[in-house]
Amino acid sequence: MSGWDQGRLYYTDQPTVVEYGGVRNINSAAATASRDSVRSLFKEFIRGFKKNNIFHYRESLLQNPSSLLIDMDDLDGFNSDLTGFLRSSPADYLALFESAAEEVLASLKASKDDVEKNEPDRLPVQILLTSNELPISMRCLGAQDISKLVRISGIAVAASDIMVKAIRLKLVCENCKNVQEITCPSGLDRAIVPRMCDRVHQHGEKPCPPYPWIVVHDESKLVDIQTIKFQQSPKDLPEGMIPSSILLSLDRTLVQSIALGKELTITGIYSTREPSTFQKGAFGIKKPYIRVVGIDEETDEDICRYPFTDEEVEEFKKFASQPNVYQHICSKIAPSISGLDDVKKAVACLLFGGSRKVLDDGVKIRGDINVLLVGDPATAKSQILKFIQKTAPIAVYTSGKGSSAVGLTASVIRDPKSGQFHIQPGAMILADGGVVCIDEFDKMRTHDRVALHEAMEQQTISITKAGISTVLNSRTSVVAAANPPSGHFDELKTAEDNINLQTTILSRFDLIFFIKDSVHYHKDKVIQCHMLFDHFDSYDCPYDSNYTNLLLLEKLNRYIQYCRAYCNPRLSETASTMLQNIYISIRQDTREQANYTGKAAAIPITIRQLEAIIRISEALAKMKLSNVATEEDLREAFRLFNISTMDATRSGINSDAKITPEIASEIKQAEAHIKRRLGIGKTVSTTKLINGLARMGLNKSIIVRALVEVRDRVQE
């Protein structure tokens, strides 16, 4: 719109064009000619630029007269000087560009036969900018960028209500009725009203007092504006640092175009404004903000901050063609942790993820994989979560003890200055497109965990508070770590007692692992050797530490980003048929056990578990950059599901479980051994007793069952 960026200072003694950030006198004929030539170049670009044999910007202007999106790469190809002008002095030349667009639009409409008589001759046009230029970090913005065009990325975390700002004010002198119009500065700067009336008074006439103006609002020109709090994305945040934030100013067609929680790339003019509260002696202090002139919403392809080079793509394809790519990737997952191979494979599947699907009726099926780790203390659960936080493209780490429902989802808070309500997104929204790591999951309050139900399955968060009703995206994977209620696994308790979580939340986890700190000589030897190798690099360890011939962590991160962005596999027909048989078999076994015991399974087997196996299969195919998940992928996915969720369901002891004659005979034999070792009044450690009988060749589960039988008889 013409004049949008004029009017920072008002002069009564000379004609000026006031730019954003300074005043430029245009009395010079050379300066006027230069501006006219730039305007002519802008008009020529809009009229004549072709893309795919179509006058792209001319047609876009006719279809949407209110705004015109300009690609900086197109403008640079047409005339690099124009791009340079916009980058060095964007406020001034954007006003010229908008003026040129208005003239082109008026001429195009005038040339049409169907022009309406009541339509104004010149419609306001807002120029918006976009480009493929890499954004800079929000922390890198400084005084050197003032009044320059900048491009940053981040997340919108709060938004104000729509406000109205004057771009041209009509003033009437209260004393002499003199009329004057002033152009207001752009962005968030306040209008500068002349101190004195400029009317020339007659001799002897009483002069007008200072500031005699009355604003005629009905005859002033107004536009909508909105402010956004823009926060640094978690993926760009240095470890241990607090996220930076900056205020964004949106005007005209950009108002209400930003959804909270979205990952965005902003093109704008780095500007300054007066602080809201005046501090004594702080005359030269300004607060920075960005006047937005372009918004690009990030897609899956934009997860990576740097685009993939041809050499990288070729290297990725070569790596994916190796027959042992799955083993290579899994060996790189948390290499500082010894063992837990199947858990690491599950983490690899979580990092790559399945394929997100949208059905014909608009229903969305999540592709993100959720994993729950329930284990004894000192079993490296938190270390696995920390590794995921560092490896995933986007990750937020939180502890269940210090997290609330609103901290994980979203809250509605009141601005203490304006009194307005706005949304403050939580971890599930900030990690949209990435992973949320929740440690101490069992320490969360029950009603706080319930808040995750919608976020984990529908991947949305619905908010209806303080007059605000909206739905935010939370397309994240969740990996949680928890301890049993008693701190350690109790083999004499059922799986339900060892987990102590509601089935509604358990059914939303694709894989549930029980990690037990069992005593095993060879395993303990390997773990201590691995630990000593970490502490002493020169230690001569006879065991394979898996530190050689592996992908670098940065390359693994890049490979994950590439696979997530460009690979969306689906199950093959043969794999689909195999999955049907597998799922029916699992359901039948679970139903038979529930019917016999009269109890539902501690971990329910529902249609969500069928989708879980599909997602894991797709993740395995994605590791190989394959668009088809084969039977081999499905078999490995079912193996992971069986040794995690199904084993967790069968873990512990169930006194009502079905006993065959063979098992009953073994239990009686174990009971006899127990009675011989336990004299009247004698005390023996349970662990020592179980290990001693196990060395005699008895099955540990049989021994535990026999102990339960003996205990129940004693209590009776």
625 lies in a domain? Answer: no
**Residue (of 141, 99, 414, 128) closest to 295 by Cα position:** 128
**469: Cβ contacts below 8 Å, ≥ 6 apart:** 463
382 and 437 in a single domain? The answer is: yes
Residue count (the chain): 716
Per-residue confidence (pLDDT) for residue 501, from 0 to 100: 82
Number of domains in the chain: 4
> What is the SS3 assignment for 343?
helix
Please give the helix or strand (H or E) that residue 590 lies within, else none. helix 573-597
> Which residues, including other chains, have CB under 8 Å from residue 426's CB and lie 6 or more apart?
406, 407, 408, 409, 410, 411
Q: What is the pLDDT of residue 420?
A: 66
DSSP string, 301-326: GGSSSSPPPHHHHHHHHHHHTSTTHH
Q: Phi/psi of residue 646, each to 5°?
A: -65, -40
Of residues 640 and 191, the one with the higher pLDDT is: 640
Domain at 121, CATH number: 3.30.1640.10
Give me the pLDDT at residue 614, please.
92
Q: For 142-188, write each residue's pLDDT tens digit.
A: 888 888 889 998 888 777 878 888 888 888 888 888 888 888 878 88
Residues 112, 195, single domain; the answer is no
Q: Answer yes or no: is 190 within a domain.
A: yes
pLDDT given for residue 644 in this prediction? 87
Cα separation of 398 and 234, whole Å? 13
CATH number for the domain harbouring residue 264: 2.40.50.140
Average pLDDT over all residues of the chain: 78
Least-confidence region, from 211-220, 223-232, 596-605: 596-605
What is the reported pLDDT for 21? 35
The confidence score (pLDDT) of residue 227 equals 87
Token output for 129: 């900018």
pLDDT confidence of residue 538: 44
Judge contact between 530 and 662, C-beta under 8 A.
no
Backbone angles phi, psi at 249, to 5 degrees: -115, 120
Q: Do 219 and 259 belong to one domain?
A: yes
Cα–Cα dist 356/568, whole Å = 8
Least confident span in 299-303, 589-593, 659-663, 708-712: 299-303
Q: Are 98 and 2 in contact (CB under 8 A)?
A: yes
Read out DSSP for 404-465? -HHHHSEEEEE-TTT--EEEEE-HHHHTTTSEEEEESGGGS-HHHHHTHHHHHHT-EEEEEE
The tokens for 321 are: 């063609």
**Domain final position from 510, 540, 566:** 566
Q: How far is CA 632 from CA 343, 615, 617, 644, in A?
A: 19, 14, 9, 18
Distance of CA 235 to the CA centre of its chain: 9
140: pLDDT strictly greater than 90: no
Number of other CB atoms surrounding residue 216 within 10 Å: 13
Kindly report, residue by residue over 490-548, the tens digit of the pLDDT: 666 667 777 778 888 888 899 999 888 776 667 667 766 766 666 665 444 444 444 33
Structure confidence at residue 54 (pLDDT): 80
Identify the band that residue 89 occupies on the pLDDT scale cut at 50, 70 and 90: confident
Q: Residue 404: CB partners within 8 Å, gap ≥ 6?
A: 445, 448
Any idea which of 3-7, 143-147, 253-257, 266-270 has the lowest mean pLDDT? 3-7
Q: Evaluate whether residue 623 is within a structural domain.
A: no
Same domain for 109 and 165? no
pLDDT at residue 478, as a whole number: 92
Whether residue 338 is predicted with pLDDT greater than 70 in this model: the reply is yes
Same domain for 469 and 529: yes
Predicted local confidence at residue 369, as pLDDT:
92
Q: Is the pLDDT of residue 1 over 60?
A: no
**Does the pLDDT of residue 622 top 50, yes or no?**
yes
* pLDDT > 60? residue 561: yes
Confidence of residue 615 (pLDDT cuts 50, 70, 90): very high
Which is nearest to 66 in space by CA: 5, 109, 128?
A: 128
Give the model's pLDDT for residue 111: 67
- Examine residue 55 and state whether it is found in any structural domain, yes or no: yes
Q: What is the pLDDT of residue 281?
A: 53
Q: Rounded to an integer, what distance in angstroms lies between the CA atom of residue 548 and that of residue 331?
A: 10
| 215, 321: one domain | no
Q: Which residues contact 364 (CB under 8 A, 6 or more apart)?
A: 356, 357, 358, 458, 459
Helix/strand/coil for 511: strand
In a domain, 651, yes or no: no
Query: Measured between alpha carbons, how far is 330 from 315 in angstroms, rounded to an integer?
Result: 18
By C-alpha distance, which of 346, 614, 329 is closest to 478? 346
- The answer on 411 and 389 residing in a single domain is yes
At residue 343's C-alpha, the angle toward residues 338 and 348, to 5°, is 105
Q: What is the pTM of this model?
A: 0.69
Is the pLDDT confidence value at 242 over 80? Answer: no
Greater confidence (472 vs 533) lies with 472
Instruction: Give the pLDDT score at 600.
Output: 64
Last residue of a domain, one of 298, 318, 341: 298
Q: Would 303 be classed as within a structural domain?
A: no
Residue 651: band (very low, low, confident or very high) from pLDDT cuts 50, 70, 90: low
Residue 13 has pLDDT above 70, yes or no: no
Say if CB 293 and CB 264 are below 8 A apart.
no
Are 230 and 266 contacting, i.e. CB atoms less than 8 angstroms apart?
Answer: yes
Identify the pLDDT of residue 144: 87
Q: Which domain holds residue 291?
A: 157-200+207-298
Confirm whether 235 is domain-assigned: yes
Question: 125, 155, 165, 162: which is closest to 273 by C-alpha?
Answer: 165
pLDDT in tens, 72-88: 888 888 888 888 888 88
% of the chain exceeding 70 in pLDDT: 79
Judgement on whether residues 336 and 410 belong to the same structural domain of the protein: yes
Range among 211-220, 301-310, 651-660 rated most confident: 211-220
Nearest to 393 by CA among 467, 298, 314: 298
Q: Which of 298, 333, 358 is the last residue of a domain?
A: 298
Task: Clarify whether residues 264 and 355 are in a common domain.
Answer: no
Pairing mode, if any, of strands 395-399 and 435-439? parallel
Q: Say if strands 67-71 and 126-130 run parallel, antiparallel, or are unpaired.
A: parallel
Residue 631: exposure state from Cβ atoms within 10 A (0-12, 13-18, ≥19):
middle
Torsion region of 693: left, alpha or beta (phi above 0 gives left; psi -120 to 50 gives alpha): alpha
pLDDT greater than 90 at residue 394: no
On whether both 352 and 245 belong to a single domain, the answer is no
One-letter amino acid for residue 487 of the chain:
G
* CA distances (Å), origin 496, targets 299, 491, 503, 653, 713: 41, 12, 9, 10, 23
Q: Is the residue at 608 inside a domain? A: no
pLDDT at 218: 80
Residue 367 DSSP class: -
Measured CA distances, 594 to 505, 598, 686, 701 (Å)? 20, 5, 29, 20
What is the tens place of the pLDDT at every residue in 186-209? Answer: 888 777 788 888 777 777 778 888
Could you tell me if 439 and 382 are in contact, meaning their C-beta atoms sit under 8 angstroms apart?
yes
The helix or strand, by DSSP H or E, that contains position 6, with its residue range, turns out to be: none
If asked whether residues 294 and 314 sit together in one domain, one would say no
Three-state SS string over 162-223 comes to: CEEEEEEEEEEECCCCCEEEEECCCCCCCCCCCCCCCCCCCCCCCCCCCCCEEECHHHCEEE
Q: For residue 572, give the DSSP letter.
A: -
- Are 512 and 411 part of one and the same domain? yes
What pLDDT, on the 0 to 100 scale, is given for residue 5?
A: 41
Is the pLDDT assigned to residue 30 strictly greater than 90? Answer: no
Classify residue 411 as exposed, middle or buried by CB count within 10 Å of its CB (0-12, 13-18, 19+). Answer: middle
Q: What is the model's pLDDT at position 349?
A: 93
Q: Domain of 495: which CATH number?
A: 3.40.50.300
